[in-house]
Amino acid sequence: MNKKIRIAVQKSGRLQEQSVKLLKECGLAFSNGPNRLKAETFNFPAEILFLRDDDIPQYVEDKVADIGIVGENVFIEKQKQVDLVQRLDFSKCRLAIAVSKDKQYDGPSSLEGKKIATSYPNIVNKFLKEKNINAEIHEISGSVEIAPGIGLADAICDIVSTGSTLLSNGLKEVETVMRSEAVLIANNSLDNEIQELLEKLIFRIKAVNTAKN
Rounded to the nearest 10 degrees, what angle do helices 16-25 and 192-212 cross at?
Answer: 100
Q: Which stretch binds Zn ion (CB under 5 A): 32-40, 45-53, 78-86, 159-167?
A: 45-53
Q: How many residues does the chain have?
A: 213
Measured CA to CA, the distance from residue 208 to residue 213 in angstroms comes to 9
Q: What minimum distance in Å lies between the beta carbon of 75 and Zn ion?
A: 12
**Residue 28 interacts with, from ligand ATP, Zn ion, none (CB under 5-8 Å by kind):** none
Q: Nearer Cβ to ligand ATP, position 54 or 173? A: 54
Q: Nearer Cβ to Zn ion, position 14 or 114? A: 14
Measured CA to CA, the distance from residue 88 to residue 70 in angstroms comes to 10
Among 23, 26, 53, 73, binds Zn ion (CB under 5 A): 53
Among 65, 180, 186, 205, binds ligand ATP (CB under 6 A): 180
Burial pattern 88-101, b for ≥16 Cβ within 10 A else e, equals: bbbbebbbbbbbee
The verdict on 161 binding ligand ATP (CB under 6 A) reads: yes
Among 47, 54, 83, 173, binds Zn ion (CB under 5 A): 54
> Using an 8 Å Cβ cutoff, are 28 and 17 in contact?
no
- Residues in contact with Zn ion, shown as a per-residue x/- string from 78 to 117 under the rule CB under 5 A: ----------------------------------------
Among 32, 73, 110, 118, binds ligand ATP (CB under 6 A): 73
Q: Nearer Cβ to ligand ATP, position 69 or 116? A: 69
Phi-psi category of residue 36: left, alpha or beta, with phi > 0 → left and psi -120 to 50 → alpha: beta
Pick out residues in 91-120 that bind ligand ATP (CB under 6 A): 91-93
Q: Nearer Cβ to Zn ion, position 65 or 128? A: 65
Pick out residues in 5-24 that bind ligand ATP (CB under 6 A): 13-15
Looking only at the bridges linking them, the beta strands covering 93-100 and 171-180 are antiparallel
Work out the number of other CB atoms within 10 angstroms of the CB of residue 162. Answer: 8
Measured CA to CA, the distance from residue 8 to residue 46 in angstroms comes to 11
